[in-house]
Amino acid sequence: MRLRMFALVFTVMLSIVTYDLVEFDTQVPPAIGAALGGFVVGMLLARIANIRWHEEASQVVAKMDKLGVAVLVCYVAFAFSRRWIFGHWFAGAELSVVAMSFTAGVMLARLFFMRREIIRILKSQEKY
């Protein structure tokens, strides 16, 4: 279910970025750079999800450990201040595109790495 949520959020954000790129004639390279930067941050945030196999429920479960909670708090603080941070270099529609591209990159990385971990666990349990 969490993977579907990340996929939906990524799709919506990518749609918004694409619309803004076309409608407001903004530059593509900053959007790609922001998405790549977001992907790197998303790889680090993959640490948040401590994914394991739950024997009694016979399913994959995700729990947060203390380091994961600390990383999540840092990410939330960054998410609220990203417009201020990116606002030093970008303005207007380009700022929106860069901020949304960054977030889309984070979502894509989390989707990719969580899916990879879930498949690894399911294969170890001979369920995939």
Q: Is it the case that residue 42 has pLDDT exceeding 70?
A: yes
Q: What is the pLDDT of residue 78?
A: 72
Distance, in Å, from the CA atom of 108 to the CA atom of 23, rounded to the nearest integer, reads 24
- 3-class DSSP state of 88: coil
103 compared with 48, residue with greater pLDDT:
103
- Do 29 and 99 meet the contact criterion of CB atoms below 8 Å apart? no
- Token pair listed for 59: 């399913």
Q: What is the average pLDDT score of the chain?
A: 82
What pLDDT digit, counting tens, does each position of 46-85 carry?
A: 776 677 777 776 777 666 666 666 766 776 777 678 778 7
- Fill in the DSSP letter of residue 128: -
Q: Where are the chain's structural domains?
A: 2-124
